[in-house]
Amino acid sequence: MSSGLPTGIAMAFAINVLVSVYFFAVYRAQQRNQSYLYWSVSCALFAAGIGASVIAHAAEGLQAVNTLACLLLFTASFGLYCGLNKFELSPGSIKFYRRVRSIFVVGSAVITVAGFYSTMVNVVASVGMALMFVMTEGLFYQRKSPYKSVYLVLRVLLLLHAFVLFLQGIVMLVQMLAAQDSDTRYLFNIVLLSHLLLTVATALVLPLLHVMNQRRQWQKLANLDELTGLPTRRAFVQKAAKSLSADDQTCHSLLMVDIDHFKQVNDQFGHTFGDEVLSRVGKILAEGLRQTDIVGRMGGEEFAILLPGVSTERAQGVADRLRHKVSELRFKQGDKQVTITVSIGIAVSHEVLYDWEHLYSQADQALYSAKREGRNLVYVFS
């Protein structure tokens, strides 16, 4: 390792140490997310492997140190896989993890045995690391994610690094079989460069993806009612307004559903019982709907269902079916069996009326009429 190599090695060592410290700090800050701990250890192992490799090449007769360096570098590549496997954006299956773990165990054993042959251990380590990076890239294969373009950067760098490592292993193997001792510094520099790119990209991209995913999860939780699992009023109105503004439907039917005498139910049987009623009614309303239909909890005991492309007659049929299914529910309260009914108001959009506020107002008026007429009824606004 003459001129040119010390600078590259020093950069690789320093950057891996810094990124290791950085990932450990993120691990401490991100509620002990194990992914960052794996990545921190991975970078530390790579830095240690570089250090051991320098020592082995600086002094002759230290083959054991060279073998240790290869084991450290191979373990570092496995650490990267483990971190990504734990990362919530790319969870791997248990079966796939066991396969990679088996490869790591076998690879470590082969590297140890190859340590008795000075050149062969470097060949095995290079090919083993290349295989580990390919397996790591497999975590992203055919994965559905809103961040595909960002993941693509990591996938390309993983495959590039794997290719360069594999090429390095093949070149060293050919030289060993041909009993040649050609200068491979240029290839080693390429390996260092591709590794540095992967390390820096990982340090920049993965914490950003973690934050983006957390924000996405928080937004998802904010848009879902915790008790029923249905969209909240805000989320429902947003979806409904978007559906109403689309040009692919001639009409929309809005069903406003209200549980009859729910306040008395809560007062008589308690809020826990009331929560069970809300949960089961919400489940009934969501069952059997089309993918384009939208159902949500508007607040309290009130629900709403938007049926795109459904006429008044069909909407009445849907409402009657839902009303009948709710009335068949039985709730146990001690020795008693309690039944629940709902009132439903329907409003249908037409060519002039495509405004959410007006449609909602009309459906709400129809719901009020259904309650006024005796409850457990379906009433259509006219």
* Domains located in the chain, CATH noted: 5-222 (1.20.1070), 233-380 (3.30.70.270)
Residue 284 and residue 183: Cα distance in Å, rounded?
73
Beta-carbon contacts of residue 117 (< 8 Å; ≥ 6 apart): none
Indicate if the pLDDT at residue 2 is higher than 60: no
Indicate if the pLDDT at residue 156 is higher than 50: yes
Helix (H) or strand (E) holding 226: none
Q: Please, are residues 297 and 230 in contact by the beta-carbon 8 Å criterion?
A: yes
DSSP reduced 3-state for 348: strand
Residue 240 and residue 369: Cα distance in Å, rounded?
23
- Picking from 97-106, 182-191, 208-217, 354-363, which range would have the lowest pLDDT averaged per residue? 182-191
Distances (CA, A) of 2 to 6, 178, 288, 329: 7, 23, 72, 82
Q: Please, are residues 325 and 264 in contact by the beta-carbon 8 Å criterion?
A: no
216-244 pLDDT, tens digit each: 777 777 788 888 989 999 999 988 888 88
pLDDT at 5: 47
